[in-house]
Amino acid sequence: MTLIAIFAVSGLAILTLLVTKSLERKRKRPFFILAAISRSDIHIRGLYHKAVHFYSEGKEKISFFFKKQIPIHSKNFLNKLLSFLREKRAQYIDNMRNSKLLKKSDGISEFFKNMSDVEKGNGEINDVYEDTRPNDRLVGQGSQDDKKELE
């Protein structure tokens, strides 16, 4: 139904334009409908050219932005970030070297000295760990080792 209505309206519009054009030729004076159509055609052409111009400029600017500006700004940002991180790393390393804990006699450095002595065999380990096997309570400590050696 809708298609029939559209077809009928478009047919009437074409018929009206043909009749108006023939009357305009006979009178040699433009009709309002045809003058409005020609003016609107000029305005629409101008809008079309503006839209094409805007599209081409926008496309060119966006292309320039993605191909040139983003790589430059990303490199700049990356370089600034790396220099900032280097500065912070150097600052924290200096703070760690000048730390009060490392300067104390019982601080971390003393702990590592003691650990190296223990690893070399020069130091002592004062913690005694008992061998707690489940059968030690029933049979007695060390009796399981004797059985393994005999077998």
pLDDT in tens, the chain (151 residues): 899 999 999 999 899 888 888 888 888 877 777 788 888 999 999 999 999 999 999 999 999 999 999 999 999 999 999 999 999 888 887 777 666 655 555 555 666 666 666 666 655 555 555 555 555 555 555 555 554 444 4
Residue among 120, 123, 122, 139 nearest 131 (CA): 139
Q: Which amino acid is at 105?
A: S
DSSP secondary structure, the chain, as one string: -HHHHHHHHHHHHHHHHHHHHHHHHHHTS--HHHHHHHHHHHHHHHHHHHHHHHHHHHHHHHHHIIIIIHHHHHHHHHHHHHHHHHHHHHHHHHHHHT-HHHHSTTSHHHHHHHHHHHHHT-S----------TTHHHH-TTHHHHHHHH-
Q: Distance between CA atoms of 125 and 71, rounded to whole angstroms?
A: 60
Q: Distance between CA atoms of 96 and 51, rounded to whole angstroms?
A: 63
pLDDT of residue 127: 54
- How does pLDDT run across 73-105, given as a tens digit for each residue? 999 999 999 999 999 888 887 777 666 655 555
Q: What is the pTM of this model?
A: 0.38
Q: To 5 degrees, how large is the angle CA 112–CA 115–CA 117?
A: 110
Q: To 5 degrees, how large is the angle CA 17–CA 20–CA 23?
A: 150
Helix 32-64 to helix 2-27 angle, to the nearest 10 degrees?
A: 120
Tell me the residue length of the chain: 151
